[in-house]
Amino acid sequence: MTRIAYLGPAGTFTEQAARQFPVDGAEYVPVDSPASALAALAGGEVDYAVCAIENSVDGAVTATADALAATPGVQIMGETELAIAFAVMTQPGVALSRATRLATHPVAFQQVKQWVGVHAPDAQFVPAASNAAAAQMVADGQADIAVAPERAAELFGLTVHATGVADSETARTRFVLVGKQGALPAPTGADRTAVVLRTPNEPGALVGVLKEFAARGVDMSRIESRPTREEPNTYQFFVDLVGHAQDPDVADALRAVEDKASSVLFLGSWARA
């Protein structure tokens, strides 16, 4: 049995993403944060962890980035994408127009505010700890409407009034499948490589490192500076490269970067979704 940790409870988008990876006979284990998912993986309690890594609207998922940088012995093996759109649900037989308490996670509420203003203008927002918890609140009678992933309606026996609800139609989230460090997935010709760099604390040091990619025509698809959390005002850089660490140009650039950066943490090479 392959055990896969994900940000729970059951019914979250991360669970939905975890189920998109082709794993036979998997058991899905809900945990309470990306850091817990990776800790369970590093500790051998699960075989894989699935974590949200980037949202097309909100950018990097910082909790996952920090957890990847802080957990030794893990490696990204693959990715999948989900369109982030919500379902609106109530207990069976309840009309939306009569429902007054609308529960969802505060972040989700930001993403559906315009829709709610039009379709349930009188509903009062009741914050929930997660979208799945919002569905539970409706099931328990503590709220009338939940805004949650569609799967939550199934889990809690609720009626779905609308699906695909999202103020921004292009919101997509990318999730990664993280495994134990080991052999890289084979190059496919359409791959992504992620590294975390630290550079000497002097002007131009970062550019000196990034030049090694540019000089070889290796494109960066993303770069984020993040506090190291070790000392104030010290940063590490999360860089996504287009290509696989076994592609000659990428391999060559990574060797050159090893010499210039103060540290390079390799997070993996895998096929793009």
Residues that bind its own copies (CB under 8 A): 33, 56-59, 62, 105-106, 110, 125, 127-129, 168, 170, 172, 202-204, 206-208, 210-211, 213-215, 217-227, 229, 232-233, 235, 237, 242
Q: Between residues 119 and 222, which has the closer beta carbon with respect to its own copies? A: 222
Q: Between residues 26 and 125, which has the closer beta carbon with respect to its own copies? A: 125
Structure tokens, 76: 């990204």
- Least gap, CB of 75 to its own copies (angstroms): 23
- Least gap, CB of 137 to its own copies (angstroms): 10
Q: Between residues 170 and 259, which has the closer beta carbon with respect to its own copies? A: 170
Q: Between residues 73 and 217, which has the closer beta carbon with respect to its own copies? A: 217
Longest dimension (CA), the chain: 66
Q: Between residues 91 and 199, which has the closer beta carbon with respect to its own copies? A: 199
Q: Between residues 158 and 241, which has the closer beta carbon with respect to its own copies? A: 241
Start-end of H helices in the chain? 13-20, 34-42, 62-70, 106-119, 131-139, 150-156, 205-215, 248-260
- Least gap, CB of 110 to its own copies (angstroms): 8
- Least gap, CB of 29 to its own copies (angstroms): 20
Taking Cα atoms as reference points, which of 214, 170, 154 lies closest to residue 16?
A: 154
End-to-end Cα separation, the chain, in angstroms:
25
CA distance 88 to 138: 11
- Least gap, CB of 189 to its own copies (angstroms): 16
Contact (Cβ atoms closer than 8 angstroms) between residue 88 and residue 161: yes
CA distance 154 to 135: 10
If you write DSSP's letter for every residue of 191-226 in order, what string do you get? EEEEEEEE--SSTTHHHHHHHHHHHTTPPEEEEEEE
Q: Between residues 106 and 157, which has the closer beta carbon with respect to its own copies? A: 106
- Least gap, CB of 229 to its own copies (angstroms): 6
Q: Which residues pair with 81 in a beta bridge?
A: 174
- Least gap, CB of 89 to its own copies (angstroms): 19
CA distance 16 to 235: 33
Taking Cα atoms as reference points, which of 238, 186, 245 lies closest to residue 218?
A: 245
Task: Please give the DSSP secondary-structure letter assigned to residue 21.
Answer: S
